[in-house]
């Protein structure tokens, strides 16, 4: 790379670690700072604290050169041209994002600025956070000529974050000065110019040298709103298709066919039209709530955001009711719960619908055996093993002698279950699928009672002869 930028990324969590490693992959010199010295030590020694495709390989590739890890914020700030803030912004009691970590980091940065720096919001923050960062720096006596504040929101999906970063749909830069915008252009030039995609060792994805990444420069306020509005709109698509699924069940329609028909419209698109248990994770619930709070503060009655949240919460209760209806009573029932993460290809259980459903089942008196390919250790921290809950090492161990099998996360492994082996393992061949991984007719033909989302249930008679599809 002919014009690398020295970059400091503050925060080695999900966004910060992915950003740091990807900047190094693009050819920049990166230091990733965290005040958790144990985490820094783990990263220095080659440990990978989060489950994410391509991340272990890129960490191993760049740990000795392109990216280093440090607990010394002052030295890291002084040696860097661009400083990316990627610390947590958890949801507060009012729904607003808690920006105390951002403020603490900005106060610390202020002590180390002696020459021009570009300070970049990478964390998801509400509109006008850029202005508050400026005020904090001013209060600490930093010369306004020594910094610019830029908003550069992330649009990463857990499980595909590295590919999303290196092959983005768009790169949004909210800058108030051309000087700051030019620094961000330099940082992303390997992607926007296409040079990265010509490399033999490049991570493969949707972009290439002929169709490189696109960069949009806006005001900081517009960039901040783009992030929240994007996530709220995606949450809306998920909630909308779930509401349609509930209607589809009442009229003997198939939500998979409906979603396919809707998604073929190029104005709508097929992504995020998967009916199921609703959204979860660290972004959508928090960002919808924060967006609603921002609207309220500005006197805007954004009622649609309330409905998105209500529909999403209702999906978990609707699924619980399906389980209850299929088994009549849950007290004393043995259930296999397949999935703990909020989605596949991640170990993240934050706001996971699967965790909420399991809690409801336990409260109703059921005994649950749970399995997830990646999230068991994290789940143990919030749902400790007990007399009523244990964790299995695989699908068939979880299903052993179960009264019903529940599919709660859309792992590919769960879509490829050996159904004959599953039937031998369970007490009753009942599958209640919250992710629509199977076709009702196929499950009926294989001898299962099969209940899914937005489709007619397929019931088997006790003697094993099909009753057919009923509502």
Tokens of 294: 């921002």
Domain covering 312-470 in this structure, CATH number? 3.40.50.720
Crossing angle between the packed helical segments 14-25 and 55-62, to the nearest 10 degrees = 50
pLDDT at 282: 82
pLDDT at 4: 92
152-171 in b/e burial notation, b at 16+ Cβ within 10 A? bbbbbebbbbbbbbbbbeeb
pLDDT at 467: 42
210-245 in b/e burial notation, b at 16+ Cβ within 10 A? eebbebebbebbebbbbbbebbbebbbbbbbbbbbb
pLDDT at 1: 64
Q: How is the chain split into domains, by residue range? A: 6-218, 312-470
Say what the alpha-carbon torsion angle 437, 441, 444, 450 is, to the nearest 10 degrees: 40
Domain covering 6-218 in this structure, CATH number? 3.40.50.720
pLDDT at 461: 64
Whether 6-218 and 312-470 share one fold: the answer is yes
Give the global pTM. 0.89
What tens-digit pLDDT sequence spans the chain (471 residues)? 668 999 999 999 999 999 999 999 999 999 999 999 999 999 998 898 888 999 999 999 998 889 999 999 999 999 999 999 999 887 777 777 788 889 999 999 999 999 999 999 998 787 888 999 999 999 999 999 999 999 999 999 988 999 999 999 999 999 999 999 999 999 999 999 999 999 999 999 999 999 999 999 999 999 999 999 999 999 999 999 999 999 999 999 999 999 999 999 999 999 999 999 999 988 899 889 989 989 998 999 999 999 999 999 999 999 999 999 999 999 999 999 999 999 999 999 999 999 999 999 999 999 999 999 999 999 999 999 999 999 999 999 999 999 999 999 999 999 999 999 999 999 999 999 999 999 999 999 999 999 999 999 988 764 444 444 443
Q: Beta strand 334-338 with 367-371: parallel, antiparallel or unpaired?
A: parallel
Q: Which residues carry out catalysis?
A: 283
What does 7-35 look like in DSSP terms, one character per residue? EEEE--SHHHHHHHHHHHHTT-EEEEE-S
pLDDT at 464: 43
In this structure, are residues 451 and 431 in contact, taking their beta carbons and an 8 Å threshold? yes
Cα-based angle 38, 43, 44 (whole degrees, multiple of 5): 95
Q: How far is it, in rounded angstroms, from Cα 101 to Cα 103? A: 5
Backbone φ and ψ for 293, nearest 5 degrees, come out as -65, -45
């Amino acid at each position: 790379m002919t014009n690398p930028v020295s970059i400091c990324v503050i925060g080695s969590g999900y966004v910060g670690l992915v950003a740091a490693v990807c900047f190094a992959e693009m050819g920049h010199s990166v230091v990733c700072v965290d005040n958790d010295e144990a985490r820094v030590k783990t990263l220095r020694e080659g440990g990978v604290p989060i489950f994410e495709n391509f991340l272990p390989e890129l960490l191993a590739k760049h740990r000795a050169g392109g990216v280093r890890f440090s607990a010394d914020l002052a030295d890291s700030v002084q040696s860097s041209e661009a400083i990316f803030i990627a610390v947590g912004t958890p949801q507060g009691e009012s729904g607003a994002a808690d920006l105390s970590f951002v403020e603490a980091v900005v106060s610390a940065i202020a002590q180390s600025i002696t020459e021009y720096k570009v300070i970049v919001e990478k964390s998801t923050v509400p509109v006008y956070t850029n202005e508050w960062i400026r005020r904090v720096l001013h209060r600490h006596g930093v010369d306004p000529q020594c910094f610019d504040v830029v908003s550069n929101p992330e649009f990463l999906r857990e499980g595909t974050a590295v590919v999303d970063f290196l092959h983005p749909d768009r790169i949004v830069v909210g800058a108030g000065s051309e000087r700051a915008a030019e620094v961000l252009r330099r940082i992303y030039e390997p992607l926007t110019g296409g040079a990265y995609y010509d490399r033999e060792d490049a991570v493969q994805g949707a972009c290439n040298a002929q169709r490189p990444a696109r960069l949009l420069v806006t005001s900081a306020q517009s960039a901040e709103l783009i992030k929240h509005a994007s996530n709220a709109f995606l949450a809306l698509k998920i909630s909308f298709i779930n509401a349609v699924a509930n209607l589809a069940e009442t009229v003997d329609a198939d939500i998979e066919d409906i979603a396919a028909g809707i998604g073929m419209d190029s104005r709508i698109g097929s992504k995020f039209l998967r009916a199921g248990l609703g959204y979860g994770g660290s972004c959508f619930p928090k960002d919808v709530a924060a967006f609603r709070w921002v609207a309220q503060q500005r006197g805007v009655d954004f009622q649609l955001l309330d409905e998105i949240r209500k529909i999403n919460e209702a999906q978990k209760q609707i699924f619980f009711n399906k389980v209850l209806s299929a088994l009549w009573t849950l007290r004393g029932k043995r259930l296999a719960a397949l999935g703990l993460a909020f989605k596949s290809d991640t170990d993240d259980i934050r706001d996971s619908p699967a965790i909420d459903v399991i809690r409801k089942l336990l409260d109703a008196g059921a005994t649950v055996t749970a399995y997830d390919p990646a999230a068991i250790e994290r789940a143990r921290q919030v749902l400790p093993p007990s007399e009523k809950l244990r964790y299995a090492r695989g699908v068939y161990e979880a299903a052993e002698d179960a009264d019903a099998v529940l599919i709660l996360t859309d792992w590919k492994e769960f879509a490829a279950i050996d159904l004959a082996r599953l039937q031998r393992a369970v007490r009753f061949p009942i599958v209640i699928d919250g992710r629509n991984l199977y076709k009702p007719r196929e499950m009926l033909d294989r001898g299962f009672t099969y209940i899914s989302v937005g489709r007619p249930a397929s019931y088997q008679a006790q003697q094993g002869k099909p009753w057919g599809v009923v509502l």
